Structures are given as structure tokens and as C-alpha cells.
Chain A
């Protein structure tokens, strides 16, 4: 009998609430995404498959109906490999088409990566079952537990990669003849031009005057306080690089998750860049709102 080494066992209700919240997010992301009729700069699967058929409103409506059906199965916890596969491939099709317009955005990748992680976990469990290597189960929840485990690993991977890119992308800082990957921290005060850019872009989205003035104030403050900017903002880099700590246990998952949400809030306040999907995913799978809800409910039942 093969036993999967799962550190933390999550309860039935906790996993159910997670699936419920996450399926809402997937449906919201898929139904609100702008669908394009062309793919001028192919990216990912668009190199091999023409996804412009999604631009046909009739086909897309049918696909969305199936999305609702499979999301219901997903919440119920049945036919998991097929349900997750459908949600994953539909989101990938929409996201790839969107990213094939010559403008790559990173708003929905985290949701797709979580679905990829869950898809791999459920397929792995099905494969073991098929191989007659029955998995040691606790309340028949092992496959959901493994999916949660892979989900957290996918989230950590996304942040670690973002951190690594900040180390290897900018030119190295040379100290005593040694290359130090601290170019990002050295160049941080140049974020001021990026702030002016994002605030101006925000202005041209809606022509709301306040954003321009706000951007100027923040950018000028950064230019006049370069070292303080380096100290404050470099915390985000270390947080990304140490995101793997969220895999350690519930406490670390909560701390790292909450810190990453705080980082996204800071990015929005400074740069007007929204990463709502990242925040929702962090709330569901790292801060673990379902667990908090159940804990409060338990306390309430026991009269605090």
C-alpha cells in the first residue's frame, strides 16, 4: 500500500469551503475575461491551436454552461480529474488568447497555476488508483489533501520565480571583484518613472485627474528618499524569495500569505497595479479563510 506523505490533514468542511470559494473565482475570471477575435502575436498553446473560435458568442456560451456544470462537480468533489481539467483548459484557452495580442498580462496566471497544480494532484491519485497502488486514505480525502498541497506549492513557485527574476535580470553589482545579484535593490529609486507611468496609464483609462497628482507626489518622494525606498521596498523581494516557507505548516502559511497580501496592497497603493486574483488565491489557500471561518464557528458553538 502506497502512503502519500501529507504533513497536514485538512478537514472535509475546510476543503469543501476552499473548493467553493475557488470555483467562484475561476467562474468569475473566465466569464469576465475579454475575448479577442484575432491572435496576432501567438503565445503558448496558440502556436499550435487556433483559439479564435472562442470569439464566437454561441460557442462561448456553450463552453460557459459546461464551466458551470464542471464547477458544480468540483464543489461537490466528484469527477475531479475531469472537472479540474475542463476548468483548467478553458481558462488556459482564454488566457492564452488574451496573451496572444502582443501584450502579456499577469493577472490570471496564478489561478491557472493553481488549477494546474490541482489537475496534476488529482491525475496522480487517479494514476495510482489505476496502478492498483491504493493510497492510504483518511475519510477518503487524500486526493483533496494532495490537491491542496500542490496548490500551495504552485503559489510558492510563482512568487519564488518572480523573486529569482529580480536577482538575475538586472546587471550585477560588483563588490571586491565579486558579482552580487543586488542590481534590483540598487536601481529601486528608478521605480519613480514607473510610478509616473502607471498613474498616467490609470489616468488615460478613465481620465480621472486625481491619479496624476497622486503619482507625482509618490514619485517625487521616492526621488528625494532613495535609500529609504531601497530599505522599504526590498522587503518585497525577500518575501518572494522566502515564499516556500508557506509550505511548512499552518502558522507559516498564514504569516507568509498575509505578508504577500500586504505586499500586493502596497503595490496597489504605490503603483496602482491590481493583483486581485493573487489576493483571492492567497486568502483561500494560505491565509486559509475557510479554516478561520470554521475555527470561529467552533469557538462560537463552544460559547467562546
Chain B
């Protein structure tokens, strides 16, 4: 009876998925360079071309984006007019905001958002090639922030004006 059980055990799939097979499986994977790159990426974070690829690794119940309008509050197609993506604009605004203060203080002091917004608009204007785009026809650039959140199972959007820049 015991012999029969042993035979049954030896013929079972447990034998097939043995530690030796798993070891063989991983032994056949060349990994040294991959391992070094993984450690470097986790250690250095964002250091082009090394990256820890943190995008969408953490979700919150609210986020925001920014966009630009002219003096009449008409949205400007950012990619077509300025050559910038709206995603780029948000990241650039976020980094300037971090430079001025941490998030808690920003909530208390709106002036820091304005300062970051104005710096961003000036940067955008400095990077536009005036030969390609006659941006002065907009008279004024306005930076808007839209906060998106989930409240009671509904998506809620809140819009507010962050900064303005007169164009000469």
C-alpha cells in the first residue's frame, strides 16, 4: 500500500514542478545586466536614460491638469499652436510648484500657485519660436487648473484661474 502511494506521488505533477526544474528554468535566463539595470533604476530614479518609471504607479481619488486660454478665455490648442503637449504643461507646472513650496503650504497660500503659473507662462513664451508662431495675437495668456475628483461615485471637476501673462 505504502509502495503504491509512493509510486503515485512520484508520478504526480508535483514531481514535474520540482525545485530542480524551477532552478533550471531560472538558470537558463541571462540576468546579470538586467539585474544591474533594475538596481540602478531603483537607486537613481529619474536620471535619463535610467528611470524607475513611476508614472501611474500610485492612484489617488483626485488629480488635475492645466491648460491655456487667450484673453477671451478661448482654449488654445497647445500642440498645434505652441508645440507643447498638455501633459508636458502639467508636469512643468507641478515641478515649478514643488520648487516654491510643499503641497500643504500651497493649499494655504494661493500666491505660490500664481508665482509658479506665471513662471510657466513666461517659460512657454520663451520657448516659442516667434518666426513660426505669432503668439502676440492672443494678447494675453491665461493658465487654468482643473481639479478632477471622485465624490459619492461621481466625477467632479473644479476649474480655477491660476495666472495671466500680458503679451506685447
Contact = CB atoms under 8 A, between A and B. Distances in A.
B partners with A:
yes
Given A41-B95, A187-B58, A247-B31, A116 B49 contact: yes
Contacts of B94: 102
A161 to B, nearest CB: 4
A220 interface: yes
Contact of A205 (B35, B60, B78): B78
B123 A40 contact: yes
A160 to B, nearest CB: 6
A194 B59 contact: yes
A190 interface: yes
Nearest to A37: B127
A117 B40 CA distance: 13
Interface string B1-34: 0000000000000000000000001001111111
Main secondary structure of the interface of B (DSSP, over half): mixed
B48 A202 contact: no
B62 interface: yes
B155 A193 contact: yes
Contacts of B34: 153-154, 156-157, 160, 244, 247
Interface string A165-195: 1100110000000000001100110111110
Interface stretch (A64-72, A76-84, A91-99, A279-287): A91-99
B116 to A, nearest CB: 10
A205 B85 contact: yes
- Classify chain B: how many residues form its interface, as a range: 35 or more
B77 A205 contact: yes
Given A184-B58, A190-B59, A200 B146 contact: yes
Given A192-B155, A247-B31, A92 B49 contact: yes
Interface in B80-126: 80, 83, 85-92, 94-96, 99, 123, 126
6 contacts: A44-B49, A95-B48, A101-B88, A103-B89, A164-B42, A202-B86
Interface of A: 5, 7, 34, 36-38, 40-41, 43-45, 91-92, 95-96, 99, 101-106, 108-109, 112-113, 115-117, 120, 149-150, 153-154, 156-158, 160-162, 164-166, 169-170, 183-184, 187-188, 190-194, 196-198, 200-202, 204-207, 216, 219-220, 223-224, 244-245, 247-249
Interface of B: 25, 28-35, 37-38, 41-42, 46-65, 67-68, 75, 77-80, 83, 85-92, 94-96, 99, 123, 126-127, 146, 148-150, 153-155, 157
